[in-house]
Structure 1
C-alpha cells in the first residue's frame, strides 16, 4: 500500500543475466586487453614457471606501473628469480613504456574523454591507470605529433580533391565552431570548414582563449578561428564563392572586414535561418487553417 513496492510476477521471477550477450555480438573482434582481478591473477602463480615447484605465496610480490601489473617471485627449489609482466614494453632505451599505458592515454584523448573524469572512474572501480600527469605527457609527446602528421596527409589529399572538382566561380563552404564547454567559460574552441557539396572537412583550427588575438575572451575564439581557417584555404589556392555560417555576428563581422574574405558571399544555414520564418508562420496560422495543416509537412520537407 502507499509507496510500498510490490514486485509483479514478471519482475519477481528469477531471471538469468549473462555477460556473454555483448561478447557474442562482438565475438569476431579480437580483444587486446582484459580486466583480471588480483585474486584470480595470483592463482596463476601457485607454481614456478621454470621448474613447476609449488611457490610460497608470501614470496610472490605484485606491483603495478599504471595499468601494467608486474609479478615477482624467487623460487626456493630452482633458485631462480622470475619477473612476469602483463604488458609488453615499447620504445627504445630509457624511453620504453608499457604499451597499455600509452594506448590508454591516446585512446582517452582521441575519444574526447576528460582525463580527470577518467581517473575518477578508475579510482572508483579500483582499476590501475597511469597518473594524470603521465597521460598528459603521453598526449603531448606522442599523440599530438602523430595525429598532426596523419591530419596533414589527409588534409592535403582532401584539398587536392576539392581543387580538382571546384567550379570556376569557386566552392561553397560551411563554417562552425565547437567549444569545450557552454557559455562564456570555454577554454578551447575548434573551428571546422567543410566543402558544402562534397561534405568533407577541408580546414580545422584549434584555439585557446589565452592566445594573444583572443585576450582571454572566450567568445572571440570562433570568429578568430573562422578567419584563420578561411585565409589558410584562400592562400592554398582554393577558390571560395560562398560561406555559410550560423548567424554568428562576430564571425560575419570579422570575415567582412578582412581584405581576403570580404568578397565571399555570406549565407545562413537553414537550421538558424528558419527560426524567423517559423515565428512569422505561427502568427499567420492564427487566421489560416490551411497554414496550420501545412506547417509540419512544409518544414519537414525543407529539412
Structure 2
C-alpha cells in the first residue's frame, strides 16, 4: 500500500506524463509485462503456441482477481482510468510478439536495438498494431485463420508491407494510411502523394467537403509540393501548408472523429461502414472486392473483425430489448380476447449446410396469432457428440424448457412430419404434467397430396386427375377448418373423403364408412346444366380407383386428423429465407458469429412483421408468375419498404460503449 506522500507524488508524476503525452521506457515496459505474465501463469493461466513457434495469450486466461487488483492500483493515482481484460491481453500479446520466444524472455541486448527503437516509436504514438487473441474453444488451432470467416495475412506474405501475423479483432496498420510522423519535416516540405491515391474514391461528409472548399491554398508555384493526400481507411486526409508571411502546416480530414480527444484516431465513417456491413449481413471480404473494382477506400478486414468482435454486447443488448417487446406484444394479443390463453406456436429446424456435415442447427418458434418470431435455439454439433442428426432434437428439447423458464404456457405446437417432435412433446407433458398438443402443418400435407395427384395423372387413363389437383388442395384446407370448428379429427377425415363423391358428380349419398355422418357436399346446390369446367371422374373408372387409393391411404388419413387448425410453419420458412441472407448455407461461419447473425435475422423479420401489424407496410403491387408447374401461377406481392431502426440502435449502442464518459456524441451521430 502506498503512503499518502507516495500517492500524491505518483499522482503528480502521472498528471505530468498525461499532459505531455509521455510513456514508459522500454525497460519498464518489459518488466511490467514479465510481472503480469508471472502472475497469470502462477494462477493457472496458460500461453498458447502458434505453428510458427511464437506465443500468444487468450483473454480468458487473465484472472479476474488480477484485473481487479490492477484497477485498484491504478486508482491510487488515476481514478478516471480503468483497464479491461482485452486491453491487458493486447498489451501482453504486443510484448510477446517482440520480446518473447520459445527460449523465454528477451533481455533486449544491443543486437535488438532495432526492436527497441520500433517499440519506442510506437509508444510515442498509440498504435493499431494487430494482436491475436485466441478463438474460444480453438486455442490449439492455428489462429492465422480468422474466426470471422476471412483468412488473414500470414507471416512473410508478399501482400503485406510489414511482417505481421494478422489480427482477429484489432485492425492492422493500414498500408495506405500514414502517420503524421511520416508526413512532416522541419522545412515545411511534404512528401509526394502516393499516385494510387489520386485515382481512389473516398467517403467524405458533406460538411467536411464544404470546409475543404473554404480553405485557400492557391497562389503558389510549388502548390503540388505544399499538399499531400493520405487516407485512413475510408477517410481522406490532406496535409497542406498555408500561404502568407508565416506559413504553417495544417490538416484536413474528410470525416469527424469519434471523440474530441487529441489522440483519438477513429473516424465516424470507418465505424459506420463496418457496423452497417455487420447489421445488413454483408460479408466484408466481398465488400472489399467490390470496392477494389473501382478504387473505393474502405476499412480493412482486420478493422472490420475488431469492430464486429466489440459489437457483440451491443447486438445482444438490442436483441434482448426487442425480444422483450415482442413477448409483451404477443401476450397482449392473447389477452385481448378475454382471459389469457396458452400460446399456439409453429416450430421448424434448419441446418447451416446441406447433407450430414452441418456444424449448427437452429430451431425456431413463431407465434401463430401474430406471426412474430419468439425464440431461436442454436445448437452446435459438438453438443451432440458430433452427430448432426441429433441437433434439431436437442434444440427443440431446449426450446420447450426455455418457454417454461419464461412462464409462457403452450397450447399447441405445429411442425412438419418429424416424429421426433411428437416424442419430445410427449416426454415434456409427462415430466411437467402439461397438455401440449402436437399438430401437423397443413401445407406439408397439401404438398404431399399434390405431388401424388400429379404423379398419378401421368398414368394411362388418369389424365383427368390433374384437373382436380388444385381443387382437392383447397378442399383439404376447408376440411381442416370444418374439423377445427367441430373439435374433431374424424370430422376432418369425413369431410375430406367426400371429394371422392364430388369428382364423380355425386353430391348426396347414403352413409358409408369413408364419409361417416357426412351425407352431402358442403357447397351450394349445383344447377343441372351448370358447366363444371373439369372432367368428371366416374365411380369405378381407373382414374377414380387411383384417386381413391391416394385419398384413403392409412398414413394420409391419420395425418389429416391431426392437421393444425391454427396454421402452418410458413412464417418459419420465411425466417429461414431471411437467415440465408445473414448466414448463407454455402458459407462457413464460426461459433463466435453464427448466433449473432441468427439474432439479427430475427430482428430483421420481426421489424417487417411489426410494420405490417401497425399498418405501415402494405402491398404496393401484385405480379403473377409461373412457378414449378407451368399451368399454375403464383402471386408475388411487393410491399412498402421500411427503415430498420434496430440497425441504428446497434450502431449507437456500440458507439456509446466506446465513449462511456461523453454525452455530446449522440447529437453528432444523429446527423450521420
Per the normalisation by structure 2, the TM-score is: 0.34
Q: Please report how far the alpha carbon of residue 97 of structure 1 lies from its aligned counterpart in structure 2 after TM superposition.
A: 1.9
Partner residue of 1:192 out of 361, 364, 374 = 364
**Following superposition of structure 1 onto structure 2, how do residues 71-86 of structure 1 map, counting pairs within 5 Å?**
71-75=238-242, 77=244, 78-86=246-254
Equivalent residue number for residue 161 of structure 1: 329
Change (3 A) 1:156 1:224: same
Matched, 1:247 2:417: yes
Deviations 1:245-278 (A, max 9, x none): 2334555555554545985322232333334323
Q: Which runs of 5+ in 1 are unaligned?
A: 1-36
Change (3 A) 1:227 1:46: closer
Equivalent residue number for residue 314 of structure 2: 146
Contact 1:245 1:267 in 2 (8 A): yes
Equivalent residue number for residue 348 of structure 2: 176
Measure, in 1, the Cα distance between the counterparts of 2:282 and 2:361.
16
Matched, 1:108 2:277: yes
Partner SS for 1:174: strand
Q: Which runs of 5+ in 2 are unaligned?
A: 1-196, 203-208, 478-569, 571-672
Measure, in 2, the Cα distance between the counterparts of 1:170 and 1:46.
63
Measure, in 2, the Cα distance between the counterparts of 1:176 and 1:251.
10
Deviations 1:125-181 (A, max 9, x none): 322222222212211212x32222222122112212323343765221112344444
Matched, 1:202 2:374: yes
Matched, 1:87 2:255: yes
Q: Please report how far the alpha carbon of residue 218 of structure 1 lies from its aligned counterpart in structure 2 after TM superposition.
A: 4.4
In our comparison, the structure showing a higher alpha carbon Rg is 2
Equivalent residue number for residue 443 of structure 2: 271
Deviations 1:188-208 (A, max 9, x none): 444331101111111133444
Per the normalisation by structure 1, the TM-score is: 0.70
Deviations 1:223-245 (A, max 9, x none): 33333333212221111111122
> Which consecutive aligned stretches of 4+ in structure 1 deviate over 6 angstroms post-superposition?
44-48
Partner SS for 2:250: strand
Change (3 A) 1:282 1:136: same
Contact 1:230 1:261 in 2 (8 A): no
Matched, 1:65 2:235: no
Change (3 A) 1:86 1:95: closer
CA RMSD, aligned part only? 3.7
Change (3 A) 1:48 1:296: closer
Partner residue of 1:121 out of 277, 281, 290 = 290
Greater CA drift, 253-262 or 201-210:
253-262
Deviations 1:87-136 (A, max 9, x none): 11215756662112212222222222223322222333322222222212
Change (3 A) 1:69 1:158: same
Equivalent residue number for residue 5 of structure 1: none
Measure, in 2, the Cα distance between the counterparts of 1:150 and 1:290.
56
Partner SS for 1:72: strand
Partner residue of 2:299 out of 110, 130, 141 = 130
